[in-house]
Amino acid sequence: MNSANSENIANGYVQMSKISTRLAAIEPSATLAVTQKTGELRAKGIDVIGFSAGEPDFATPQHIIEAAKAALDAGATRYTPAAGTVALKRAVAAQNERVRKISTSDEQVIICTGAKHVLYNFFMAVLDVGDEVLIPSPFYVSYPDQVRLAGGIPVMVPTFAHDNWVMDPSLLEKAVTSRSKVLLLNSPSNPTGGLYNRDQMKAVVDKAISLGLYVISDEIYRDLVYDDHEFVSAMYSPDVDMSRIFIVDGVSKTYAMTGWRIGWGIGDPEIVAAMTKIQGQAITNPTAISQEAALAAVEGPLDFLPGWKQQYQARRDAFVAGLNAIDGMECKMPPGAFYVFPDVTQILPKMAPGSTDIDFAKWLLENANVAVVPGTPFGAPGYIRLAYATSMELIIEGLSRMTIACRKL
C-alpha cells in the first residue's frame, strides 16, 4: 500500500471502482453493436448490406407526421403525467379492448419510452434480489441483462426448431424453483419469428399461472403475422387471471416509429403504479410530442399495413428460399415478425476448427460485406439472425454475396 492510499484510508476515504459492480455481468446489445459496426464501415466508404437492425425500412405514415407537426404548433412541448397523457392511455386501453377483447381501464396502462423501457420498468418494479425470471430460449438479447440489472436471475427454458420454437409447458414446470417469479413470453418472436397458436398460448399461460408465476408478454410484433397464421395474446381470454398477466406493446414495429420511442404496458394497476413511481424518478415522463404522434397512430387508420405486410412476406419468402439454397444452411419459414433464423452448424466445420456462429458472422462481414447477428447472444449457438425489414433489392444482392462467399469455403 503506497503512502497516498494509507493517508486516504487514515482520513476515512476508501479507493472505490469508478463503475458499478452491477454492470460486470452485463453485455452491450449485440444487435446494436453490429448495427454500429455497419455504420462505421459505411462511413469509410465500404458497401455493407446490413441485415442486423430490427427496424422497419418504411417511413412513418404521413398522417402521424402531420399530427406531430400540428401538436407542436399547438404547444405540445411541456411535461406530461409520468405514466403518459390521459388521451394516449385511453386510446391504448380502447385499442387493447379491440385487439385482445379485454376490458381495460386507464389505471391499467403506462406509457414508456419504447417497449424495451416497459420491460425494464416492470422488472425493476416486481423483482427482488435473487428472484428468477424464466425466459424461453432463443430470446431477445436484452431480456437477460435487464433481469440482471434489476437484481434478478434469468433462467433459460429451451425451445426447439422442430417445435417451431414454442415452449413445452412441461419444460417450464421442470425449470420452476422456489425463487421463480416471472415467465417472459415473446410472440411473434425476436429472433426466430416463432408464433404461439391459441392452444399453445393457453397451455403455457395456464401452466405459468398455476405455478404461481406472473406472465409478462412482449407483443410488439403482434401485427406482423403472415400466411394463415393468427396472433394470440397472453391475454387470450377474459377468463384468464388478468392480475397475473402484463402486456408489452408499442408503436415501433407496426407503425415504423422506432425513433419516436413510445411503448406501453397493460396489466395490474398495482404494478402500473409501481412502474409509474420508478418512471417519475428516472425520466419524469415520455416525450410529449412523441405521445401525440403515438395517439394519432393508435387512433388512426391502418390502411398502410396490408401493403407493408405483403412486401414483408415477399421478402421473407425470397430470403428463406435463398438461404436454403446455400449449401450447409437450413432455414425454417417463420410465421411472424421480420426475421429469418437459419441454422449454420453445417457450414461452421468448413471454416477453421472450432469456428462458431460469431466467427461466421465476422467472416461474412469481412468476406461478403454482409452484416448479420450471430445466434449466441440470443441463446442459440449455431444460428444467425437476419432482418428482412429492408428492400428486396438489398435482400437479393445480400443473398448473392453470401452465396458466392460460402462457395469459397
**2 domain-assigned:** no
Q: Which of 299, 334, 356 represents a domain boundary (last residue)?
A: 299
The CATH number covering residue 251 comes to 3.40.640.10
Give the total number of structural domains in the chain: 2
Q: Which residue has 418512471 as its cell numbers?
A: 279
User: Is 133 in the same domain as 281?
Assistant: yes
Closest among 328, 335, 307 to 384, alpha carbons compared: 328
Domain of residue 330, residue span = 25-58+304-407
User: Is 386 in the same domain as 294?
Assistant: no
Inter-residue contact 224 to 188 (CB < 8 Å): yes
**344 domain-assigned:** yes
**20 domain-assigned:** no
User: Is 334 in the same domain as 241?
Assistant: no
pLDDT for position 32: 74
pLDDT for position 280: 98
pLDDT for position 18: 86
pLDDT for position 38: 80
User: Is 199 in the same domain as 77?
Assistant: yes
**5 domain-assigned:** no
pLDDT for position 27: 80
User: Is 87 in the same domain as 231?
Assistant: yes
**241 domain-assigned:** yes
User: Is 287 in the same domain as 311?
Assistant: no
Per-residue pLDDT of the chain (409 residues; tens, 9 = 90+): 555 555 555 566 656 778 888 888 888 787 777 778 888 888 888 899 999 988 999 999 999 999 999 999 999 999 999 999 999 999 999 999 999 999 999 999 999 999 999 999 999 999 999 999 999 999 999 999 999 999 999 999 999 999 999 999 999 999 999 999 999 999 999 999 999 999 999 999 999 999 999 999 999 999 999 999 999 999 999 999 999 999 999 999 999 999 999 999 999 999 999 999 999 999 999 999 999 999 999 999 999 999 999 999 999 999 999 999 999 999 999 999 999 999 999 999 999 999 999 999 999 999 999 999 999 999 999 999 999 999 999 999 999 999 999 999 9
User: Is 294 in the same domain as 314?
Assistant: no
356: cell is: 462458431
pLDDT for position 29: 80
User: Is 126 in the same domain as 42?
Assistant: no
pLDDT for position 13: 61
User: Is 257 in the same domain as 185?
Assistant: yes
User: Is 138 in the same domain as 273?
Assistant: yes
The CATH number covering residue 48 comes to 3.90.1150.10
